[in-house]
A and B are shown apart, each in its own frame.
Chain A
Amino acid sequence: MSRPSSSLFSAALIGPALLGALRKLDPRFMIRNPVMFVVEVVAALTTVLFVRDLLAGAGGLFFSGQIILWLWFTLIFANFAEALAEGRGKAQADSLRRTRTEITAKRLTGGGRAYETVPGTALKVGDVVLVEAGDLIPSDGEVIEGVASVNEAAITGESAPVIRESGGDRSAVTGGTQVLSDEIKVRITAAAGSTFVDRMIALVEGAARQKTPNEIALNILLAGLTIVFVFAVASIPSFASYAGGTIPLVVLVALFVTLIPTTIGALLSAIGIAGMDRLVRFNVLAMSGRAVEAAGDIDTLLLDKTGTITLGNRQATELRPVRGVSEQELADAAQLASLADETPEGRSIVVLAKERYGIRARDMASLNATFVPFTAQSRMSGVDLEGASIRKGAVDAVIAAASGQPAASRGSNAALAYLPAAETEIVAEIRAIAEAIAKAGGTPLAVAKDGRLLGVVALKDIVKGGIRERFAELRQMGIRTVMITGDNPMTAAAIAAEAGVDDFLAQATPEDKLALIRREQAEGKLVAMCGDGTNDAPALAQADVGVAMNTGTVAAREAGNMVDLDSDPTKLIKIVRIGKQLLMTRGALTTFSIANDVAKYFAIIPAMFLGLYPQLQALNVMGLASPQSAILSAIIFNALIIIALIPLALRGVTYRSVGAAALLRRNLLVYGLGGILVPFIGIKLIDLAVTAMHLA
C-alpha cells in the first residue's frame, strides 16, 4: 500500500520549486554545497566585472553577458533540482500535517476515569490519556490498558483498522491515528514536536536531512576535483602570456565551470532527498539517511520464518495411510475429527479433505457428534460419534491411546488386525511415516478410529510463493539470508532448504539472535533484521539496519532505525534495493559528470587558444562553428544537462539483481562511456542551434 505517487514534473510542484531555486541562491545556503558555491562565487565576480565594463561602455559584451547568464542558470537549475525533490516530500508532509490538526486530549487525573481536557500540544512524556471510540490519539504512546481497533490510515494509508492492546507486541500507538471502537488508556512516550508524525514530516521535507557518510566522502572528492581544475585553469594565463597573448577572464571562467563536476554537485542533494522519499512511498520511515545507505551495504539479512518466509500457520498437505487403509478412509476420519476443530491446523485438514478427496463438510449436530477438545495432557483432539470415536494428535499420544484401548470395544475385524505381531508392525509403520514427515520439515499428526491406527496427517509450514526466487535474487546481490525460527533444527533445516535461505538459526532465543548479529558484524558484515517484540529490541539496536514493525512495541520502534508502517517483514528486501539504488544513482551521475570533461576540453581548449596558435583548430574535432559558439555551447550543455538528469536523479538508476560484475559493466557502459560520448553530440547540436540563432 502506498500513497498515489505524484508525477515527477507536475505543474503544482514546479512553481514552488522555481521560487525555491531562487531563494536558495542565498550564499549562506549555497556554502553547504562546495562545488556549486564555487560556481556562485565566480558567477558573482564575473557579473561585477560585466557591470563595470557595461558602465565603462566596453564592447563585445554580448558574448560575456551570455556566458554569465548561463552561469546563473547553472546555479538555478541545481537549486531547482533540490527544491523539486524537497517539494515532492513537502506534498506528502502536507497531507500528514492535515491529519494532525488540533487534537484535544483527555488527560487522566488521579485514578479511575476522571480526566481533564487539554490541548494535545500540552502533553508531556509520561502523561496518561484516555482515548475513546472516535477520538484521535493525541500523541505517540503505549497502550497500558484496554484493547481497541485503530484506524492508522493517516500514516500508513491502509484503511483497514488494526488492533492495539496493552501488553504484548501490539501496544504502540501513533499520534494522529483514530480509535474506531472501544477505549484505551495510553501513556504518552513522545513530547509534542518530536512525535512520529513530526519526525516523518521533517524527514520527507528534507529539513532534518544530514549528509550521509558516502555523501560526505563524495563531497570531498568533488571539492578535490574542483581544486585540481583551479590549478589547471589558473595556470593558463601564464602559459598564454608565454605564447604572447591573453585569455579573457570570462573564457577562463567558462572552462573552469564546465570542468568542475557541476552535474553531480548540482544533483547530489536531490538524489539523497529522493532516496528518502522513495522509502516513504514504500511506507518505510528511516530515522536517518545513514540507515538508508547502510541498507545498500547489507551483507546478511535475518528474516523471521513465520510471516516472512512461510505463511503464518502450518497446514495439512498430505495424508499417509498405513497399509490396508485407503487414503479416502483416512481422509474421512481425519475430516470428521477436525470438523469442530477451530485451530488453523484443524481447518486446513477439512480443506484438504474437501479439495483433494471431495469430502464435503458435515454437520456435527446431525451426526450426533461430540467434540473432544485438545488438552495438554491428552495431546489429542477428536470426536465421539454414535458407535465410533476418532482421535488425531501427537503420534506418541495416539499410539499409546490406541494400544491401551479395551478389547471389548473393538470391532470383529479389528481382532484380527490387532494381533500383537500385526500391531507392532502397524505401530512401526506409523512411526516410520511420522519420522519421514518430520525430516521433511513437517509435523505429523496420527489418526486413529476406534483404537485402530489409520495413518498420519502431514502438517507443513507453507513457504510463501515466489520467496525462493527472492532469495536467489538476494544471493545475486551478494546478500546472505538467515532464517530465524523457534522450530527444532530438523524442521528448520527442511524449511530452510525448501525456501532456499542460505542459513538458519533454529530454536532461536532473543539472546541467540543478538549473538548471531554480533558474530556476523565481527566478520565485518552489515546485518539487517526486522522485529516487533520488546525482546527484539536489543537485536534491532545491534543490527546495522533494524526495521521495526509499526504494529510492534514502543521499545522495538525506538531500537530500530527504520519503521515499516505496513508491518510487512518482506519489506526488508525492498529497503535493501532502495539503499542500493541510492548509492548507484550517486555513482552513476558522478561517473557521468567526470566523463563529460573529455568533450568539454575538446570544445573549449582549441577555441581558447586559437588566437595564440591557429594550428590548434585541428583539435576542434566536433567542428564547432567559432571559438565563441564553442565556448557558449559547452557552458549551455553544462547547464542543460542538469535539467536533463533531474528525472534520473529523482527516480534513481534502476537496480537489477544481476551481481556486481554485470551491474558494473552495464553502468560503466551507460554512464562512463555514455558520459564521454553524450556531450560530444550535445555540444555539437547546441553549437548548431547557437549558430543558427546568431548568438555567437
Chain B
Amino acid sequence: MTGIGWIQIALFCAVVLALVRPLGLYMTRVFAGERTLLSPVLAPLERGLYRLAGIDARHEQTWLGYGLAMLVFHALGFLLLYAILRLQEGLPLNPMGQAAVAPDLAFNTAASFVTNTNWQNYGGEGTLSYLSQMLGLTQQNFLSAATGIALAMALIRGFSRASAGTVGSFWVDLTRCTLYVLLPLCVGLTLFYVWQGIPQTLGAYVEATTLEGARQTIAVGPVASQVAVKMLGTNGGGLFNANAAHPFENPTALANFVQIVTIFALGAALTNVFGRMVGDERQGWAILSAMGALFLAGTAVTYWAESAGSPVLNGLGLTGGNMEGKEVRFGIVASALFAVVTTAASCGAVNSMHDSFTALGGMIPMINMQLGEIIVGGVGAGLYGMLVFVVVAIFVSGLMVGRTPEYLGKKIEAREVKMAMLAILCLPLMMLGLTAVATVVPAGLAGPANAGPHGFSEILYAFTSAAANNGSAFGGLTGNTPFYNTTLALGMLVGRFFVIIPALVIAGSLAAKRTVPASAGTFPTHGGLFVGLLVGVILIVGGLTFFPSLALGPIVEHLAGAAGQTFSTGG
C-alpha cells in the first residue's frame, strides 16, 4: 500500500461526497415534480410522452398499482429484449452479420438486463448486433436503472407521507428519472468519454494490418454512450467482453476515475434525496455513513490483500503486489478500488479480473454482494435494500429504548418486519441454494476452471453476483451453458423482484400510517450510534449467513496459500 494509493481513494471519496448534495437537491426537485433547470426543454417533451401513452401525470397509484405497472412493464421489456436477441440476424444495424442468440443465452441475457444485473454470458463483440446492443441492451440499461430509482422513490414516499393511500405514479417516476436524470447526465458523460478517446460509431469493425503483416479486426461501436449509462445506472454490461479493462471502454486514468465516480454518484445522492424528502438531511447522511463505513473497510482489505500479493508466491520468496489479471496502466489501487466500488454498487463492470485477485482480495467483492448490494448499491436498489435492513435493525434494537420501534415517526410493526425478512431471505436462498445445487450436479461441476476452494469460489461468486443483480464474474467459470444460463437467470429474477415487491408492500404500509412526532423518548436515527448499530445488524443478520461458504472458499484458499498449499485440477 502506498500513500499515493490512499490519496486516490481519498480523492474518490471526496468527489463522491461533493456530488451528494447538489445531485440530491436536483433529484428531489425532479421527483417532487418541481421546475428544474432543464424543465423549459424537457417539460414539453415529458407532457408529449404522457399524452402519447395516455397517462394522467396527476394520477397516483397505490403500492399494488405501482407494483403491477412495474411488473407489466418489465414483462413486456423482457419479451421485447428476448425477441430482439433471437431475431437480430434479420434485423437492421447488423453490419457484422451476427447470428441469432441461442434460446438459453437469450433468456439469460434478457433476465440479466431487465433486472439491472448485466451478467454477461455472451461476448459482446462476437455475439450481438448494434441493434441488440442499442435498442435491446442500452434501452434496458436506462429503464432498469430508472425502475430502481422509481422504486426507491416509492419507498421514500412511504416514509415521508402520513396517512396516505398512494406512493406515487410508476409511469411518472420512470419517465422523469429517464428524462431529467439519466439522459442529460449520459449525454454529458458520452461527450466526455468521446473526448477521452472512446469510440462512438455505427460503422463496421475496423480491419488493420499489424507490423508483422497479420490482419486484425478491431471491434468498435457505439461505445461511449453505452459506457456512460452502464456506469451511471450501475448496469455494468460492457459492449466488449473485457468490459472496462478494454482500452476502448476505459482509455485513460481520468476516464477510469470518472467511471468509478459515476458508479457511486446517483446511489450516494439518493440517500440525500431520502433525507430531504423525510425532512431531515441527517437521516440520509446516517445511511450514507453506514454504507461508507462498510465501503472503506472493504476497500482497505482488498487494497491490503492485493498489495501484499499472493501468499503462495510470498512463501516462495516472491514479494510484491498481485498484478495478475490487472491492467498495468491502472495498477493495484485503481483496480482494487474499482473492484470494491463495482461490487458494492451492483454495477458489475470490471477493469480487472476478479478471478485473479488474491483469495481475500476477491472475498470482499463477494461479501459486498452477499450483503445485498446495499453499500451505496444499485441505483435505487441500494437504497431500498438498505432501508429493508434499517427496518430490521430498528426492530431488533429499537425495542431497547422501551417503545414500539419507530423509524422517522413510522411504527415498525408485524407487516413491515414480515416483508423485510422476506426480502432478506431471498438472497441466501438464491446464493447458497443455487450454489449448493451447482456444487453437486455434473452440469454445475463442469463450470469452474479451477479445482479446490477457488473453483468453489467461482461458482459461489456467480450465483452471488446474479442474485445480488451485480453482474460481475469470476471469469474462470464457464457460464454459457444451459444449466448456468437458466439457474443464473432464476437467481437474477428472484434476487430482483422478491426484494422489490416486499419493499413496495412496506412502502404502502408505511405511507398509510400516521407519523408519530419525535420526542426525547424516540430512538435517534441520525447519529453514530445508529450507524454502528446498522452496520452491526447488516454484518450479523446479512453477512454471517455466508460465513460457512466463505470459510470453504476464499478463507481456506488464503489459509492454504499461506501454508504453501495449492489445489490442482483433477488432483
Residues in chain A within 8 A of chain B (CB atoms): 213-214, 216-218, 220-221, 223-225, 227-229, 231-243, 293, 296-297, 299, 475-480, 522-526, 579-581, 583-584, 586-588, 590-591, 594-595, 597-598, 601, 605-606, 608-609, 612-613, 615-616, 618-619, 655, 659-661, 663-665, 667-668, 671-672
CB distance from B343 to the nearest CB of A (A): 21
Q: Please, how many angstroms separate the alpha-carbon atoms of A595 and B517 in the complex?
A: 31
Choose, from B19-27, B137-145, B322-330, B429-437, the stretch at the interface.
B429-437
Task: List the B residue with the shortest CB-CB distance to A215.
Answer: B414
CB distance from B163 to the nearest CB of A (A): 9
Q: A217-B395, A239-B436 are in contact. Are A297 and B400 (CB under 8 A)?
A: no
CB distance from A378 to the nearest CB of B (A): 50
Q: Does B194 contact A (CB under 8 A)?
A: no
Cross-chain contact B516 with A220 (CB below 8 angstroms): no
B331 partner residues in chain A, CB cutoff 8 A: none
Choose, from B207-215, B280-288, B418-426, the stretch at the interface.
B418-426
Q: Please, how many angstroms separate the alpha-carbon atoms of A667 and B433 in the complex?
A: 36
Cross-chain contact B524 with A661 (CB below 8 angstroms): yes
B522 partner residues in chain A, CB cutoff 8 A: 478, 660
A671 partner residues in chain B, CB cutoff 8 A: 400
Cross-chain contact B401 with A664 (CB below 8 angstroms): yes
Q: Does B9 contact A (CB under 8 A)?
A: no
Cross-chain contact A584 with B400 (CB below 8 angstroms): yes
Contact of A238 among B399, B437, B560 (CB under 8 A): B437
Q: Please, how many angstroms separate the alpha-carbon atoms of A663 and B520 in the complex?
A: 11
B562 partner residues in chain A, CB cutoff 8 A: 615
Q: Does B559 contact A (CB under 8 A)?
A: yes
Q: Please, how many angstroms separate the alpha-carbon atoms of A299 and B412 in the complex?
A: 17
Cross-chain contact A587 with B519 (CB below 8 angstroms): no
Q: A228-B424, A605-B551 are in contact. Are A613 and B556 (CB under 8 A)?
A: yes
Q: Please, how many angstroms separate the alpha-carbon atoms of A581 and B401 in the complex?
A: 9
Q: Please, how many angstroms separate the alpha-carbon atoms of A595 and B520 in the complex?
A: 27
Cross-chain contact A605 with B547 (CB below 8 angstroms): yes
Task: List the A residue with the shortest CB-CB distance to B439.
Answer: A242
Task: List the B residue with the shortest CB-CB distance to A661.
Answer: B524
Cross-chain contact B400 with A601 (CB below 8 angstroms): no
Cross-chain contact A665 with B433 (CB below 8 angstroms): no
Q: Please, how many angstroms separate the alpha-carbon atoms of A1 and B521 in the complex?
A: 29
Task: List the B residue with the shortest CB-CB distance to A615.
Answer: B559
Contact of A597 among B404, B417, B527, B544 (CB under 8 A): B544
Q: Please, how many angstroms separate the alpha-carbon atoms of A665 and B424 in the complex?
A: 26
B400 partner residues in chain A, CB cutoff 8 A: 584, 587-588, 591, 663-664, 667-668, 671
Q: Please, how many angstroms separate the alpha-carbon atoms of A440 and B562 in the complex?
A: 81
Q: A525-B517, A661-B527 are in contact. Are A221 and B417 (CB under 8 A)?
A: yes
B401 partner residues in chain A, CB cutoff 8 A: 584, 587, 660, 663-664, 667
B436 partner residues in chain A, CB cutoff 8 A: 234-235, 237-239
Q: Name 17 A/B residue pairs within 8 A (Cβ), A-sorted.
A: A217-B414, A224-B417, A225-B421, A228-B425, A232-B546, A296-B402, A523-B514, A525-B516, A588-B400, A590-B399, A597-B540, A605-B547, A615-B559, A616-B551, A616-B555, A619-B555, A664-B524
CB distance from B76 to the nearest CB of A (A): 33
Q: A609-B552, A618-B559, A664-B523 are in contact. Are A297 and B403 (CB under 8 A)?
A: yes
A239 partner residues in chain B, CB cutoff 8 A: 435-436, 439, 456, 548-549, 552
Q: Does B440 contact A (CB under 8 A)?
A: yes
Q: A224-B422, A231-B429, A615-B559 are in contact. Are A672 and B397 (CB under 8 A)?
A: yes
Task: List the A residue with the shortest CB-CB distance to B418.
Answer: A220
Q: Please, how many angstroms separate the alpha-carbon atoms of A522 and B414 in the complex?
A: 22
CB distance from A38 to the nearest CB of B (A): 15
A522 partner residues in chain B, CB cutoff 8 A: 514
Cross-chain contact B544 with A613 (CB below 8 angstroms): no
Q: Please, how many angstroms separate the alpha-carbon atoms of A147 and B505 in the complex?
A: 59
Residues in chain B within 8 A of chain A (CB atoms): 162, 392, 395-404, 409, 412-414, 416-418, 421-422, 424-425, 428-429, 432-433, 435-437, 439-440, 445, 453, 456, 514-517, 519-524, 527, 529, 532-533, 536-537, 540-541, 544-549, 551-552, 555-556, 559-560, 562-563, 565
Highest count of chain A CB atoms <10 Å: which of B399, B524, B544: B399
B549 partner residues in chain A, CB cutoff 8 A: 235, 239
Cross-chain contact B523 with A235 (CB below 8 angstroms): no
Highest count of chain A CB atoms <10 Å: which of B541, B549, B552: B552
Task: List the B residue with the shortest CB-CB distance to A588.
Answer: B400
Highest count of chain A CB atoms <10 Å: which of B162, B546, B559: B559
CB distance from B439 to the nearest CB of A (A): 4
CB distance from A216 to the nearest CB of B (A): 5
Cross-chain contact A229 with B396 (CB below 8 angstroms): no
Cross-chain contact A477 with B520 (CB below 8 angstroms): yes
Cross-chain contact B425 with A221 (CB below 8 angstroms): no
Task: List the B residue with the shortest CB-CB distance to A617.
Answer: B559
Task: List the B residue with the shortest CB-CB distance to A613.
Answer: B556
Cross-chain contact A601 with B547 (CB below 8 angstroms): yes
Q: Please, how many angstroms separate the alpha-carbon atoms of A525 and B406 in the complex?
A: 12
Contact of A594 among B425, B527, B540, B546 (CB under 8 A): B540
Q: Please, how many angstroms separate the alpha-carbon atoms of A290 and B128 in the complex?
A: 61
Task: List the B residue with the shortest CB-CB distance to A223.
Answer: B421
Cross-chain contact A299 with B552 (CB below 8 angstroms): no
A586 partner residues in chain B, CB cutoff 8 A: 399
Q: A299-B519, A479-B521, A664-B524 are in contact. Are A243 and B456 (CB under 8 A)?
A: yes
A588 partner residues in chain B, CB cutoff 8 A: 399-400
Cross-chain contact B399 with A221 (CB below 8 angstroms): no
Contact of B533 among A584, A606, A668 (CB under 8 A): A668
Cross-chain contact B425 with A619 (CB below 8 angstroms): no
Q: A609-B551, A615-B560, A660-B524 are in contact. Are A224 and B421 (CB under 8 A)?
A: yes
Q: Please, how many angstroms separate the alpha-carbon atoms of A595 and B521 in the complex?
A: 24
Highest count of chain A CB atoms <10 Å: which of B401, B440, B453, B552: B401
Q: Please, how many angstroms separate the alpha-carbon atoms of A660 and B518 in the complex?
A: 11
B453 partner residues in chain A, CB cutoff 8 A: 243, 613
Cross-chain contact B402 with A655 (CB below 8 angstroms): yes
Q: Please, how many angstroms separate the alpha-carbon atoms of A400 and B17 in the complex?
A: 78
B551 partner residues in chain A, CB cutoff 8 A: 605-606, 609, 616, 619
Other contacts beyond A235-B433, A613-B559: 18, CB < 8 A: A213-B414, A220-B414, A231-B545, A235-B432, A238-B437, A239-B439, A239-B548, A239-B549, A476-B521, A524-B516, A525-B517, A579-B402, A587-B398, A587-B400, A588-B400, A619-B555, A667-B400, A667-B401
Q: Please, how many angstroms separate the alpha-carbon atoms of A524 and B515 in the complex?
A: 6
Highest count of chain B CB atoms <10 Å: which of A224, A235, A524, A587: A235
Q: A524-B516, A660-B524 are in contact. Are A224 and B439 (CB under 8 A)?
A: no
A606 partner residues in chain B, CB cutoff 8 A: 551
Cross-chain contact B402 with A299 (CB below 8 angstroms): no
A667 partner residues in chain B, CB cutoff 8 A: 397, 400-401
Task: List the A residue with the shortest CB-CB distance to B556.
Answer: A613
Contact of B409 among A213, A217, A524, A660 (CB under 8 A): A524
Cross-chain contact A672 with B399 (CB below 8 angstroms): no
Task: List the A residue with the shortest CB-CB distance to B455.
Answer: A242
Cross-chain contact A293 with B404 (CB below 8 angstroms): yes
Contact of A224 among B424, B527, B552, B559 (CB under 8 A): B424
